[in-house]
Amino acid sequence: MLPLIMLSSCKINKEYDEMVPLPAIAEKAPRSEQEVVERQKLLEEIYNQPYPEYRVNPGDVYRVSVYGYLDLETKDVMVSPDGELSVTLLGPVKIGGMTLKEATAELERCYQHYIKYPKVAMFIISIASQSATIAGKVNNAGLYPVSKGFRLRDLLASARGTPTELFNGQGFEVADFSTSIYIRGDRVIPIDFDRAFQTGDPLHNIEVHPGDYVYISSRADKLVSVLGEVHLPCFIVWYENMGLIEAITNARGLKDEYYHDAVVIRRGVEGINFYKVNVDGVFRGTVANASLLPGDIIYVPKDKMSAYNVFVRKLMPTAQLMNALLSPVIWMDNR
């Protein structure tokens, strides 16, 4: 049943030799001059944005003292979820959302009912609200305290960087900075993570503000598989501009019995598509190196598969495997 379901969603010509050549990977549309200017303007705006003034938030812990009245000292008191701070003599006082100066003034105003000219001091013990989140493919995802001058690279360092895993006996970075995102408030900031981490460009290695959210994407869902007449059938981590030559080379090359036309299987919005690529032509340089996309399957046959029924019969035993390979890859995250 599974092969029939799979093939029912395939687009294929009746004669295998008539299949269209594999199209090159779609290049990113170049940004217009206006888009470039607007993006640069936004980054400069973010860069020049002042660090937000601290305001009292639920979960923050303080020590409150009143000058000249040791018995009124309140130690290690936490701001409640509704923004109230319970202090000696006064009980709960609403100071949530205030600056420290405003909160101190409010406490002094309340103490004036009992003390003439009170002088209140608020000492910060811990600030739960002054934190940012980093999630995804980092070694220790979570909330981390931030302060003025704390930047994106510092946040990644707090999370102990990104993991490296073994794949086909080789180590590779699991993180994919090209698709990672930085969110502040209700908008995504268009920073270049590679420039931020590698060069420290201040327009991209931005100052982290409380409440910011960073998600480091995974490369685990960007795999290409190579099957058939290659020395090492395997998965390969896809990278930008990967082509057929690179994929077959990573699979230790072709066996002597390979057929000169390989099949590339690709999932599209309308189902599964099959494409033919002349391997000999690609390696000779007479045919353009076919660019690959994440999730592509390269199948190198042992002999000619020209007629439709021969093509189906040859691939039918591996239909279940191919269907699994074309599904979202989750096994790496569950290892």
Q: 46-92: per-residue pLDDT in tens?
A: 999 999 989 999 989 999 999 999 999 999 999 999 999 999 999 99
Q: Which domain holds residue 161?
A: 130-218
pLDDT score of 296: 85
Cα–Cα distance, 279 to 285 (Å, whole number): 10
DSSP state of 129: S
Asked if residue 205 and residue 192 are part of one domain, the reply reads yes
Write down which residue in 218, 244, 261 finishes a domain.
Answer: 218
Cα–Cα distance, 224 to 296 (Å, whole number): 5
Domain harbouring 174, CATH code? 3.10.560.10
Show the tokens assigned to 126. Answer: 């811990």
CA angle 246–304–231, rounded 5-degree value: 35
Nearest in space to 58 (alpha carbons), one of 21, 31, 86: 86
CB under 8 A, 24+ apart: contacts of 102-111: 103/56, 107/64, 111/66
pLDDT above 90 as % of the chain: 43
Asked if residue 309 and residue 258 are part of one domain, the reply reads yes
Residue 37: pLDDT above 90? no
Q: Is residue 157 part of a domain?
A: yes
pLDDT score of 220: 65
Asked if residue 115 and residue 135 are part of one domain, the reply reads no
Q: Is residue 281 part of a domain?
A: yes
Q: How confident is the model at residue 273 (pLDDT cuts 50, 70, 90)?
A: confident
Q: Is residue 48 part of a domain?
A: no
Q: What are phi and psi of 2, to 5 degrees?
A: -60, -45
Q: How confident is the model at residue 31 (pLDDT cuts 50, 70, 90)?
A: low
Domain harbouring 104, CATH code? 3.30.1950.10
Nearest in space to 84 (alpha carbons), one of 97, 74, 75: 97
- The residues pairing with 276 across neighbouring beta strands, listed in sequence order, are 21, 263
Give the strand order in the sheet containing 61-66: 69-78, 61-66, 120-126
Asked if residue 298 and residue 225 are part of one domain, the reply reads yes
- Tell me how many helices (H) and strands (E) the chain has: 9, 18
Task: Decide the pairing of beta strands 223-228 and 297-300.
Answer: parallel
| Average pLDDT over all residues of the chain | 80
Asked if residue 149 and residue 73 are part of one domain, the reply reads no
Q: Is residue 137 part of a domain?
A: yes
Which region among 84-98, 173-187, 259-273, 286-300 has the lowest average model confidence (pLDDT)? 259-273
Q: Is residue 290 part of a domain?
A: yes
CB 327 within 8 A of CB 267: no
Asked if residue 239 and residue 201 are part of one domain, the reply reads no
Q: How confident is the model at residue 334 (pLDDT cuts 50, 70, 90)?
A: very low
Q: What b-and-e string marks burial along 253-262, b requiring 16 or more CB atoms within 10 Å of the CB?
A: ebeeebbebb
pLDDT score of 27: 42
pLDDT score of 225: 87
pLDDT score of 17: 37
pLDDT score of 219: 73
pLDDT score of 269: 53
pLDDT score of 320: 47
Q: Is residue 34 part of a domain?
A: no
Write down which residue in 183, 218, 253 finishes a domain.
Answer: 218
Nearest in space to 53 (alpha carbons), one of 187, 152, 183, 147: 147
E runs forming strands in the chain: 10-11, 61-66, 69-78, 84-87, 91-94, 120-126, 131-136, 142-145, 164-167, 170-173, 175-184, 187-188, 213-218, 223-228, 234-237, 261-268, 271-278, 297-300
Asked if residue 16 and residue 72 are part of one domain, the reply reads no
Q: What b-and-e string marks burial along 56-83, b requiring 16 or more CB atoms within 10 Å of the CB?
A: bbeebbbebbbeebeebebeebebeeeb
Asked if residue 214 and residue 227 are part of one domain, the reply reads no
Asked if residue 225 and residue 208 are part of one domain, the reply reads no
Q: Is residue 38 part of a domain?
A: no
Q: How confident is the model at residue 144 (pLDDT cuts 50, 70, 90)?
A: very high
Show the tokens assigned to 99. Answer: 């600056």
Asked if residue 87 and residue 106 are part of one domain, the reply reads yes
Q: Is residue 55 part of a domain?
A: no
Please count the structural domains in the chain.
3
pLDDT score of 260: 85
Asked if residue 174 and residue 92 are part of one domain, the reply reads no
Q: How confident is the model at residue 276 (pLDDT cuts 50, 70, 90)?
A: confident
C-beta neighbour count of 133 within 10 angstroms:
16
Asked if residue 210 and residue 157 are part of one domain, the reply reads yes
Write down which residue in 106, 126, 146 finishes a domain.
Answer: 126
